[in-house]
Amino acid sequence: MTQVIGTLKARLAVWLLVMVSGLGTLLLMEAYYSTQRAAERAFDSQLEAAALTTADSVQWEGSAPVVRIPPAALQILATSHQERVFYAVLDHNGRRISANLAISIPSAGRTAAAIAPTWLDLTQAGTRWRLHGREYDSAGWDIQNPVQIWVGHTISGRQVLASELFERAIIRFFAMVLLAGILMLLAMRVALKPMRQLRHRLRKRQADDMRPLNARVPEELREMVEALDTLFTRQRESRDNLLRFTADASHQLKTPLAGLQSTSELALQSRDPDEWYRALSDVHDGAKRTSRLAGQLLSLARLRHVEEADESLPLDLRKALHDSVLEWAQREVAMQHDLGLAELPAEPMLIQGQAWALRELLGNLIDNALRYTPPGSEITLGLNAIGNHIMLYIEDNGPGVDPEIHPRLFQPFERGGRQDTHGSGLGLAIVATIAQRHAAKLQVKERPPHGLRIEVHFQAAGEES
């Protein structure tokens, strides 16, 4: 029974969602750090520009520098994000020449600024600041001493700018994800169109239409279409075999029934009790043959066309063969034949199979040999272990069968070219079907100087082929 376990669209969507989520997480992380770096660069550039502008405003009056912060520097520092700004000018001893806030510059920062432009992140009165300092050689009339210029502002502006940039990146990302989702749905619909066309084509086929599909499909569907074509071919062959079997069965049943009808009509026209007795005997024998034929037809139909539950169990083929031969040896049909067993192995010969089917196989092998050999013939059954296989064989010293007919012996209603027996031609067909159900191989051989040998090769239980 088919169980629906979701849809291909859902599976593709889930996998794409997982991949997009993973990639999106990486992209969002990269976008976050990129916006942070962009905000840092933007505000650091402002601090550098403000420091340079302030440096140009340093003047000397006598031996002391005088600083007048130009409006341009304040405009650079004052951004639209309303953060607090800081500036300070220090002499070569670290004393303040000019400053707007009492922010202490660490000595390590002043030392670093004396070597190269430097950046400091510090916290003052619970507020985080970003400072930039650099040293300039500012010469007066009497002395030549450098001065350090420090500018800075709080980081709130940086955080706001980074958030704004990140929000824009998120909006663009989700817009792209939405667009990608829509395109993905359209792509899946287009990609799955051949599958929908194949489904519609199969639904429109008639139940008895077993022709190949002859469909144009992408490479991904090629194997499935080939499997369907193979299935249709097998179904067509099975249907044809069933029709042939039904026609042959009808013919085989019609012949004895017509004979019974003719015998009974002749007996009804006679007034002689002896004629009645002979007619009743013929009718009785014909009914027995017809009953046996019907039973074999039912067995063959059951084996070929009815699925049985898997009841395979380890079975001892040695014991089954021994019991079957003893049973058949006591029947009247075997009294005029030398039916016997070859020496059997001492240990059990286990195979995986169904007990009823195995008894049917052995019975049909023995019955076939009894019916197609003349009285007094020797019929021998035996077992041999060959590697990981167990070979069951039956051989007789009867007239044998023409080697050209050997390949047809397992077809229904095949009598090996013989018309002088009461056999139905179904025994070996039943044997072949049972052997196929047990994954066994059949071989037909001549038995010198005359006679026939049939071998059935089973896989030993627990062995890998």
Instruction: Indicate if the pLDDT at residue 465 is higher than 70.
Output: no
Instruction: Indicate if the pLDDT at residue 459 is higher than 80.
Output: yes
Higher pLDDT, 369 or 253: 369
**Range among 127-141, 187-201, 431-445 rated most confident:** 431-445
Q: Distance between alpha carbon 345 and the CA centroid of its chain, in Å?
A: 45
Q: Tokens 């469909």 label which residue?
A: 215
Euclidean distance between CA atoms 263 and 289, whole angstroms: 15
Report in angstroms the alpha-carbon separations of 149 from 54, 96, 105.
7, 10, 11
Instruction: Indicate if the pLDDT at residue 117 is higher than 50.
Output: yes
pLDDT range class, residue 88, cuts 50, 70, 90: confident
Euclidean distance between CA atoms 56 and 14, whole angstroms: 62
Tell me which residue of 283, 244, 288, 290 sits closest to 264, measured CA to CA.
283
Q: What is the pLDDT of residues 138-194, one digit of tens each?
A: 655 455 678 888 888 888 888 888 888 889 888 988 888 888 888 888 888 888 888
As given in the structure block, the two tokens for residue 49 are 């520009």
CA angle 434, 334, 443 (to 5 degrees): 35
pLDDT range class, residue 440, cuts 50, 70, 90: very high
Q: What is the pLDDT of residues 49-71, one digit of tens each?
A: 888 887 777 766 656 666 666 77
Is the torsion defined by CA of 384, 390, 391, 392 positive or negative? positive
- The chain-wide mean pLDDT, for the chain, equals 83
> Which pLDDT score is estimated for 251?
64
Q: What is the pLDDT of residues 335-353, one digit of tens each?
A: 999 999 999 988 999 999 8
> Mean pLDDT, to the nearest integer, of 305-331?
83
Euclidean distance between CA atoms 150 and 133, whole angstroms: 4
Buried b vs exposed e over 3-28: b needs ≥16 C-beta within 10 Å?
eeeeeeeeebeeeeeeebeeebeeee
Q: What is the pLDDT of residues 94-114, one digit of tens each?
A: 888 888 888 888 889 888 988
Can you list the domains of the chain with their CATH numbers?
11-163 (3.30.450), 219-305 (1.10.287.130), 313-459 (3.30.565.10)
Euclidean distance between CA atoms 285 and 277, whole angstroms: 12
> Which pLDDT score is estimated for 422?
61
Is the torsion defined by CA of 423, 428, 430, 431 positive or negative? positive
Instruction: Indicate if the pLDDT at residue 418 is higher than 70.
Output: no
pTM of the entire predicted model? 0.51
Distance between start and end Cα atoms, the chain = 30
User: What is the per-residue DSSP string for 125-181?
Assistant: TTEEEEEEEEEEEEE-SS-EEEEEEEEEEETHHHHHHHHHHHHHHHHHHHHHHHHHH
Euclidean distance between CA atoms 97 and 113, whole angstroms: 17
Euclidean distance between CA atoms 370 and 100, whole angstroms: 125
Residue 454 in contact with residue 393, Cβ under 8 Å?
Answer: yes
> Which pLDDT score is estimated for 443?
93
pLDDT range class, residue 379, cuts 50, 70, 90: very high
Euclidean distance between CA atoms 80 and 332, whole angstroms: 117
pLDDT range class, residue 380, cuts 50, 70, 90: very high
Report in angstroms the alpha-carbon separations of 170 from 22, 163, 178, 179, 351.
15, 10, 12, 14, 68
Q: Identify residue 168 by its one-letter amino acid code.
A: R
**What percent of the chain is predicted at pLDDT more than 90?**
17
